[in-house]
């Protein structure tokens, strides 16, 4: 047992899970707002960030902004842990000391693919919780009901759009993040300032990756909320376009970019510090 806990892979999983917990709790309201903004086109009247915030607070008070936080944590804690553990294993076995951008792209894509598939059922439930259109009494009940009504296909609905969103995001994020870290002058990399510089690198990397993958996130949201309506990604994309035009693919970009950027930045900053505490390289 002690040997397992001392494994670098286990330590990277623990570090990743801890970072995922902190960032998920803090930024859950942004994810809820993003989901509601994207979903609003189905009701014939698009909503902005302010109107969604006002409606949620009026209906469910301030705590309503954290609706879906349980499935979010259920998804993100093991998901982020699996991602960082997979990434650490890939870097240890196949990585180089000075990674080329293509190397970072491939490793980020592989690690995210493993994590995304592993926790997709929780991603589906999380999205449905946040939409306000599904009333589940608990996570377990939600998983059981979804499986009974829709089978495994329901629990894994939106897999294609999820991979289209998460794999490019993680691969681009890791590439940008790794390259940005290389640009930092040696005299700036002091012990006290490292977390700040890691956070700033994460902000820039997250912003660029979020913008590129925004249309896939919109498609993923609709595919997971209404799987019976869409036979494939193309049908879902066509529905968004017919309802809201090209602008529909950018609904929710502000809260999503804020959440993904800040969440990824915090997760990587905490992860880097935790790995330094474990005396492991990142």
Helix (H, G, I), strand (E, B) or coil at 39: helix
Q: Given this model, what pLDDT does residue 82 score?
A: 94
Read off the pLDDT of each residue in 15-25 and give the average, rounded to a whole number. 85
Alpha-helical (H) ranges within the chain are: 2-5, 8-39, 49-60, 69-94, 101-131, 139-155, 159-182, 194-225, 233-244, 253-277
| Residues 110 and 90: beta-carbon distance below 8 Å | yes
The pLDDT tens digits for 167-192 are 999 999 999 999 988 887 766 566 67
Average pLDDT over residues 51-64: 90
Average per-residue pLDDT for the chain = 86
Check whether 5 has a pLDDT greater than 50. Answer: no
Q: Given the structure tokens 């002091």, which residue do they identify?
A: 190
39: in domain: yes
- Tell me the two tokens of residue 34: 């993003």
Domain of residue 157, CATH code: 1.50.40.10
What tokens does 249 get? 């693919």
Whether pLDDT at 193 is above 80: no
CA 106 to CA 240: how far, in whole Å? 30
* 144: in domain: yes
How many of the other CB atoms lie within 10 Å of CB of 268? 25
Does residue 63 form part of some domain? Answer: yes
260 vs 4, more confident: 260
Structure confidence at residue 3 (pLDDT): 44
Is 282 a member of any domain? no
Residue 155's pLDDT is 92
Residue 263 · residue 23 · CB < 8 Å: yes
Q: What is the pLDDT of residues 240-255, one digit of tens each?
A: 999 889 999 999 899 9
- Contacts of residue 3, defined as CB under 8 A and 6 or more positions apart, other chains included, come to none
What global pTM score does this model have? 0.79
CA distances from 160 to 36, 81, 115, 121 (A): 21, 22, 14, 13
The pLDDT score that the predictor gives to residue 1 is 42
Give domain status of residue 18, yes or no: yes
Per the structure, the complete domain to which residue 117 belongs is given by: 2-277
Asked whether residue 82 is domain-assigned, the answer is yes
Whether 239 maps to a domain, the answer reads: yes
**Does a structural domain hold residue 187?**
yes
**Number of structural domains the chain divides into:** 1
């Amino acid at each position: 047992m002690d040997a397992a806990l001392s494994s670098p892979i286990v330590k990277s999983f623990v570090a990743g899970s801890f970072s995922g917990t902190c960032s998920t709790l803090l930024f859950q309201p942004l994810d809820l707002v993003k989901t509601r903004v994207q979903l609003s086109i189905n009701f014939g009247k698009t909503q902005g960030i302010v109107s969604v915030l006002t409606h949620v607070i009026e209906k469910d008070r301030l705590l309503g902004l954290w609706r879906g936080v349980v499935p979010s944590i259920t998804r993100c804690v093991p998901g982020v842990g699996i991602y960082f553990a997979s990434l650490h294993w890939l870097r240890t076995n196949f990585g180089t000391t000075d990674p080329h951008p293509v190397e970072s792209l491939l490793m980020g894509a592989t690690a995210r693919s493993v994590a995304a598939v592993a926790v997709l059922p929780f991603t589906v439930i999380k999205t449905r919780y946040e939409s306000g259109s599904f009333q589940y009494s608990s996570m377990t009940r939600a998983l059981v009901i979804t499986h009974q009504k829709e089978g495994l296909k329901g629990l894994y609905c939106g897999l294609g759009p999820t991979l289209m969103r998460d794999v490019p995001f993680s691969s681009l994020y890791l590439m940008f993040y790794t390259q940005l870290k290389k640009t930092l002058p040696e005299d700036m990399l002091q012990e006290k300032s490292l977390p700040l510089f890691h956070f700033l690198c994460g902000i820039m990397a997250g912003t660029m990756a979020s913008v590129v993958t925004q249309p896939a996130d919109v498609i993923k949201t609709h595919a997971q909320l209404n799987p019976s309506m869409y036979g494939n990604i193309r049908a879902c994309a066509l529905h968004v376009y017919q309802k809201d035009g090209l602008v529909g693919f950018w609904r929710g970009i502000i809260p999503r970019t804020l959440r993904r950027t800040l969440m990824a930045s915090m997760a990587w900053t905490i992860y880097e510090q935790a790995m330094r505490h474990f005396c492991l390289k990142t």
